[in-house]
Amino acid sequence: MTQAIRTRNRSHSQEWFERAQQSLVEGVNSPSRGAAVYSPAPIILERGHRSRVWDADGNEYVDFMMSFGALIQGHAHPTLIEAVTDAMAGGSHFAAATSAEIEAAERFRRMVPSAEVVRFTNTGSEATMLALRLARAHTGRRKFLKFEGHYHGWYDPFLLNAHSHPPEQLGSVENPARIPDSAGIPPSTFVDVVLAPWNDVNSLEQVIRLHGKELAAVITEPIMANMGCILPDDGYLQRMRELTHDCGALLILDEVVTGFRYAPGGCQEYYRVEPDLSTFGKALGAGFPVGAVAGPRSILERMRWSDNMVLHYGTFNGHRLTMKVVAANLDMLAAEDTYRKLYGTGNAAITGLRQVFQRRGVRAIVQGFGPMFQIYFTERVAIHDYRDYCTYVDAKRYSKFVHQLLDLGIYMTPSNGLHWIISTAHTHADIELLLDAADQACSVLA
Ligand SMILES: Cc1ncc(COP(=O)(O)O)c(C=O)c1O
């Protein structure tokens, strides 16, 4: 077996992080990157190439976080470097109509089954925000349903029960406790939010019976990706489709994580479910900030200029340089064999990790398939929903395990709520390094 890459010291990272305290809150630009997650301090990353990253001390890591899934082609893919360099030479952005955005949109439509038309945003958060506004305008209804443990970005009304909490705080399945994820949001924001447990057909039927006629939309992640990686039960998404159709609420499939990952057309293609609207981000931009809302002309046309239009402005919408990257990225993803390779590498990692835990007698499961998965330290055979995650997953043990992996040259966030990402840049040699490091890291769990 290949020997894991051992990191040496992190003194330069420490120095940078101390310096960062003067200028940045917590020394970072997002709480998920700081010392609350990485102990005692985050590793300052300086460079990336294909599946590898290097920190400020020159330590090398195989990266399995891949910018929270954005880097589907790995770091610094030569085709994308060329696309960016050529585009930049002609001007980064005009905030005007361009052929670049048309070419990106054409490729997008060819790949995503439900995309009659598409509107590009700059982030996944902007995409979900816009989808909700469109749904409200289209239906003339105010309320929407979101599920416990689903994250749809940091827009106010979505920030309810997106984080995990101790089980005793969750309330009952019939009447879940409503826990805001952020200070600074007026309680009135949540008046229009109906909250329900996910992956539970009975409670979905019940909540639709009670509120269906008032709902503008039901928004769901097709695979629950912000409590690790939790798959929908067979038929669950299809039943959600039927129920939303019957009550006149739009089904918004939030494919910000799953889009272009599980299939060229995302989970809507994989699970054969047709949403009214779907949202994208992350893998779409291969590392560049972009999001998208896709759907039928009859809904998206609400944004057409008129007295009663749905407003969506943005200086950087359809950013020229980003659109060039999107087009080049989608061309690579559309190539034959891309997904077979992603699945092959990912499934090798999943099978290998399961074998490591079994061999080392560690009670852990690896959930997911192909290009995305998560490890749960648990006595359970599966984690089925948010409540299972809050009750049965040992997130501290996971953090300890991942910190050990970081010392062994594997880069991953110690946050159990995220997930391992396989990019087209990962090789079977990378997986061997991971498995060897995982084997060694099991020693700290004994
Ligand atoms: C399912 C889902 N939707 C939306 C978002 C928000 O995307 P962004 O971080 O690009 O704003 C995220 C981010 O992690 C996400 O996981």
Residue pLDDT, tens place only, 298-334: 999 999 999 999 999 999 999 999 999 999 999 999 9
Whose Cα sits closest to atom 8 in ligand 1? 124
341: β partners: none
Q: Quote the pLDDT of residue 444.
A: 87
Residue 129 CA to residue 245 CA, distance in Å, equals 21
Annotation says 254 is catalytic: yes
Pairing of strands 215-220, 143-147: parallel
Positive or negative: CA dihedral 92, 94, 100, 101: positive
Ligand 1 centroid–CA 152 distance in Å is: 5
Q: What is the residue whose two structure tokens read 């917590």?
A: 26
Identity at 97, one-letter amino acid code: A
Q: Ligand 1 pocket test: which of 125, 252, 253, 316 has the largest number of ligand atoms within 8 Å of its C-beta?
A: 125
Give CA separation, 33 vs 81, 90, 290, 413, in Å: 26, 34, 20, 8
| Share of residues in the chain with pLDDT > 70 (%) | 98
* Residue 364: how many other CB atoms lie within 10 Å: 22
- Protein residue with its CA nearest to atom 14 in ligand 1: 153
Q: What b-and-e string marks burial along 262-300, b requiring 16 or more CB atoms within 10 Å of the CB? A: bbbbbbbbbbebebbbbbbbbbbbbbbbbbbbbbeeebb
Contact present, 303 and 279 (Cβ < 8 Å): no
Q: Who has greater pLDDT, 342 or 6?
A: 342
Q: Average of pLDDT values for 260-273?
A: 98
CA 20 / ligand 1 centre spacing (Å): 25
Helices 428-441 and 338-359: crossing angle, nearest 10°?
A: 20
State the catalytic residue, choosing from 57, 200, 254, 439.
254
Task: Flag whether pLDDT at 16 surpasses 80.
Answer: yes
**Which among 282, 293, 386 is the best mutation to test ligand 1's pocket, defined by most ligand atoms within 8 Å of the CB?**
282
Q: What is the pLDDT of residues 69-96, one digit of tens each?
A: 999 999 999 999 999 999 999 999 999 9
Give the CA angle between residues 195, 206, 166 to the nearest 5°.
Answer: 40
Please report the atom of ligand 1 found closest to the CA of residue 281. 10
pLDDT-based confidence at residue 4 (cuts at 50, 70, 90): low
pLDDT-derived band at 445 (thresholds 50, 70, 90) equals confident
For residue 150, the ligand 1 atom closest to its alpha carbon is 1
- The pick from 29, 66, 256 for probing ligand 1's pocket by mutation, whose C-beta has the most ligand atoms within 8 angstroms, reads 256
Q: Going by CA atoms, what residue is nearest to atom 13 of ligand 1?
A: 153
Cβ atoms of 240 and 250 within 8 Å: the answer is no
Q: Which of 55, 57, 61, 151 is catalytic?
A: 151
Residues with CB under 6 A from ligand 1: 68, 123-125, 128, 151-153, 221, 225-226, 254, 256-257, 281, 291
SS3 144: strand
Residue type, 427: T
CA of 70 to the centre of ligand 1 (A): 10
The predicted pLDDT at position 8 comes to 76
Provide the mean pLDDT of the chain: 97
Q: What is the pLDDT of residue 162?
A: 97
Q: Whose CA is nearest to atom 7 of ligand 1?
A: 124
H-only helix segments in 45-98: 66-69, 78-89
In 10 A of CB 45, how many CB atoms? 16
- For the residues of 162-225, what is the DSSP string, one character each? -S---GGGSB-SSSB---BSSTT--GGGGGGEEEE-SS-HHHHHHHHHHHGGGEEEEEE-SSB-
| Nearest atom within ligand 1 for CA of residue 128 | 4
For residue range 383-394, what is the model confidence (pLDDT) as tens digits? 999 999 999 999
Contact between 267 and 247 under an 8 Å Cβ cutoff? The reply is no
Residue 270 among the catalytic residues: no
Has residue 1 got a pLDDT over 70?
A: no
List, for residues 201-229, the tens digit of each pLDDT value. Answer: 999 999 999 999 999 999 999 999 999 99
Which tens digit of pLDDT belongs to each residue from 105-157?
999 999 998 999 999 999 999 999 999 999 999 999 999 999 999 999 999 99
Q: What is the mean pLDDT of residues 246-267?
A: 98
| Set 57, 63, 270, 282: catalytic member | 282
Could you tell me the distance, in angstroms and rounded to a whole number, from the CA of residue 446 to the centre of ligand 1? 35
Which atom belonging to ligand 1 lies closest to the Cα atom of 258? 1
pTM: 0.97
**For a pocket test of ligand 1, which of 163, 257, 319 has the largest count of ligand atoms closer than 8 A to its C-beta?**
257
What distance in Å separates the CA atoms of residue 237 and residue 67, rounded to the nearest whole number? 28
282 CA distance to ligand 1 centroid (A)?
8
**pLDDT for 152-199, tens place per residue?**
999 999 999 999 999 999 999 999 999 999 999 999 999 999 999 999
